[in-house]
Each structure stands twice: as structure tokens, then as C-alpha cells.
Amino acid sequence: MTFRVFMKSLRLAVRTGKRFSLFVIIYSILIGITSIILNDILKGGGEVWLAFFFVGIMAVVALVYGLILSSYRKLQVATLRCLGWTSANIKWFFIGELLLVCVVAAIIDLEIIIHYLGIGYYIGINPPILDATPFLITVFVVIGVQFLGVFVAWRRMLKVRPMEALRKA
């Protein structure tokens, strides 16, 4: 049941279109910038506060996305509660959508890095923009921060009563 709910949330996330694309672009930019800053820190010359600043921005974006997501999905969640969905099912519903945004943004950043390195090696210049370690650390931090957005959206959706769906119809 959980896997089916997770897959349904992935399909609904892609269907939203503009909102999904906007947050993928935002997360892609934040992952790229934070990875470069973290790479500089690990090489010995970067500002630690700057990395924390961008992680804070990611947390704010995660909260905003969780609030937007919960307000758009209110009627759908009320309908699903009428059909007997539990709070755990609703939690997986939000986890799927928020994680899909993070994974797609990470894949876009990875693609950009691979092309950058390929062009650099082809031309003969090979200053890697960043190593794999800072990129992976940043992706896991973003996924961890996303759970803050999941928690906010999930807590708001637990307050939705099934009768709200019936009143709207």
C-alpha cells in the first residue's frame, strides 16, 4: 500500500507542471551553489557561514513548498480521508512529491557537472568545479531539509476533516 501511495504522489507531482518545474529550478540552483561553497570549504578556503546561510535558505524554501503543497492538496487529502486513507498514507503522499523535486534537481546538477567536466577534459583544461563528496553531502542535506517541509505539510493535512471534501462537492 505504501509503495502505491508513493507512486501516486510521484504522478501527481509531475502533473502540477509549473509549480514542480519552479521548485526543481530553485533547488537545482541551491544545490549547485551550496556544493561549490562546500567544495571550497573542504579544500581549505571557504566561508562556513555562507554554507549555513544557503542551508537556511533551503530550509525556508522547503517550508514554503510544504505550505504551498498542503494548501493545494487540501481538497484531495480530504477526499482521500473520506476513502479511508490513514495519516501514514498521507505522509507518504507528501514525501513522494517533495523527494521527487529534490532528486530531479540533483540529477539536473549532476548532468551539468558531467558536461562541464567533459568539455574541460576535451579542451585540455581540467580544473574540476567540485568533487563528488561535496555534491553528495549537499544532496543528502537537501533531502534531510525536505523532511522539514514534509513535516509541516503533513501536520497541516492531519487537521483536514473528511467533511470538508463533502461540503465542497
Give residue 70's domain range: 2-168
Specify the pTM: 0.81
pLDDT tier, 127 (very low <50, low <70, confident <90, very high otherwise): low
| Other C-beta atoms lying within 10 Å of the C-beta of residue 108 | 17
Question: How many domains would you assign to the chain?
Answer: 1
Which residues, in sequence order, are CB contacts of 153 under 8 Å at separation 6+?
66, 67, 69, 70, 73, 94, 98
Higher pLDDT residue, 100 or 16? 100
What's the pLDDT score for residue 80?
81
Whether 2 has a pLDDT exceeding 80, the answer reads: no
